[in-house]
Amino acid sequence: MTLNIPFLNYKNIAVIISAILIIVSGYSLFQNGLNVGLDFSGGTTIQVKYDKPVELAPIREALKNNNLNGGVVQFFGSSLDVTIRLPSDVGVANKELDFEVMKALKTYREDVTKVRRSFVGPAVGDELKNDGGLALLVALICIMVYVAMRFEWKFALGSVAALAHDVIIVAGFFSVTQIEFDLTVLAAILAVIGYSLNDTIVVYDRIRENFLKMRKGSSIEVMNRSLNQTLTRTLITSLTTLLVLIALFYFGGELIHGFSIALIVGVLIGTYSSIYVASAAALALGVTKEDLMPPEVEKEGADQDALM
């Protein structure tokens, strides 16, 4: 059973799909932004638990009556668990805030207990925004340098294009769905970078090998061949990773929902992008056999010694 799908002959369709996804993501990011969590915006989150199912409207009412305005009240997994997010400038000193909130909640129902509370100063939020962005940038640059060293600058550009593609679309997904974007989601996006890269490198590695091995054949033929050869591996790895991510999503609890969703979307997009975006970009940049010839082709595996 040897597959021979001419992937890159359809690259125009892929370009259109990617373009649409990126434009939608970009537009949504620009227009709606992200529903950033407390980690980034600063403020206080209080998670409470009720003994019996509860409705949100009276809770909002109770908070308003006690001068706790501007909060977001949401269910957290079940109709017993509620989170209340209040902005930093709610008007009550932070020290007493959770006390005030609990007092306000008790005016509506007595069967409420505090489960978790966190306060993040706005300064930390700002810093995280900057550091998070910086982390992404530094990661991209380091990876590009490494790929350029091990392969070729056209591949480096291709891999980073694929990464940017994945990151924008995953962030866009969070913007469109307005799922809360917190620190764990940022971690997930960085993990997506690692994952998507992993995929891309495996494909590139095979392209390099085939460029050196296949005497005949155009660049596009060599690339198609390589993609087919690595296809089963790409799909199986994505599948096993998805299996554990789905387990995480269903059984891991609310706190890491965002994390697992980001990774599930990321793995799907990453699999697609390592086939189409990374290879198509390298192809568009005009990768040829000569680019990958080691300066002195002496012995097999010469390019591997650097690592050992």
Partner 1 sequence: MIFGQTRQMPLNTFPTWKYLMVLFIIIIGGILALPNIFGEDHAIQISDKNGNPITEELVVNIDQAIKDGGIETKSFEVEGSRGLIRLVNPDDQNEAKRIAFQFVENHSKPEIKENTVVAVNLAAATPKWLADLGFDPMKLGLDLRGGVHFLLEVDMDALFKKEQERAITTIKTTLYDEQIYYKSVNPRELTSVIAQFESEELQERAFAELNTNALEGFTITDRSFDGRYELIFNITEAKSREIRDFAIKKNITTLNNRINAIGVAEPLVQRQGANRIIVQLPGIQDTATARSIIGDTRTLEFRMANTRRDVGEALSGRVPYDSELLYESDGRPILVYKDVMLDGEHVTGAGSSRDEKGMPQINIQLDGAGGSIMAKESGDHVGDVMAIVLTEVVPIFKKNEYGDFVKNDEGSLIKIDEKINKEVVSAATIQTTLGRSFRITGQFTPQYASNLALTLKSGSLKAPIYIVEDGTIGPSLGKENVEKGTLSILIGFVMVLIFMLFRYKVFGLVANIALLVNLVLIIGVMSMIGAVLTLPGMAGILLTVGMAVDANVLIFERIREELRDGMSPAQAIHNGYDAAFSTIADANITTAIAALILFAIGTGPIAGFAITLLFGILTSMFTAIVGSRALVNLIYGGKAVKKLAV
In the region spanning residues 200 to 219, those forming contacts with partner 1, defined by CB under 8 A, are 201-202, 205-206, 209
Is 149 a binding residue for partner 1 by CB under 8 A? The answer is no
Give the shortest CB-275-to-partner 1 separation in angstroms: 15
The answer to whether the beta carbons of residues 155 and 200 sit under 8 Å apart is no
Is 67 a binding residue for partner 1 by CB under 8 A? The answer is no
Is 117 a binding residue for partner 1 by CB under 8 A? The answer is yes
Stretch 245-284 residues interacting with partner 1 (CB under 8 A): 245-248, 250-253, 255-256, 259-260, 263
Q: How many residues bind partner 1 (CB under 8 A)?
A: 75
Give the shortest CB-23-to-partner 1 separation in angstroms: 27
Q: CA–CA separation, 271 vs 199, rounded Å?
A: 7
Place of tokens 């690592």: 307
Which runs of E-coded beta strand occur in the chain? 43-50, 72-76, 78-86, 112-120
Q: In sequence order, which residues have a C-beta less than 8 Å from that of residue 231 and are 6 or more positions away?
A: 3, 5, 275
Using CB under 8 A, which of the segments 20-28, 173-181, 282-290, 300-308 binds partner 1?
Answer: 300-308
User: Residue 166 corresponds to which amino acid?
Assistant: D
Of 55 and 127, CB closest to partner 1: 127
Which runs of E-coded beta strand occur in 191-268? none
Using CB under 8 A, which of the segments 54-62, 65-73, 185-193, 281-289 binds partner 1?
Answer: 185-193
Residue closest to 198 by CA, chosen among 254, 266, 111, 244: 266
| Binding-site member from 51, 55, 96, 111 for partner 1 (CB under 8 A) | 96
Q: CA–CA separation, 121 vs 165, rounded Å?
A: 32
Stretch 1-60 residues interacting with partner 1 (CB under 8 A): 2, 47
Distances (CA, A) of 149 to 29, 155, 267, 287, 306: 34, 10, 26, 15, 10
| Binding-site member from 5, 23, 214, 236 for partner 1 (CB under 8 A) | 236
Is 223 a binding residue for partner 1 by CB under 8 A? The answer is no
Q: CA–CA separation, 232 vs 238, rounded Å?
A: 10
| Binding-site member from 21, 22, 29, 124 for partner 1 (CB under 8 A) | 124
Give the shortest CB-265-to-partner 1 separation in angstroms: 14
Of 11 and 42, CB closest to partner 1: 42
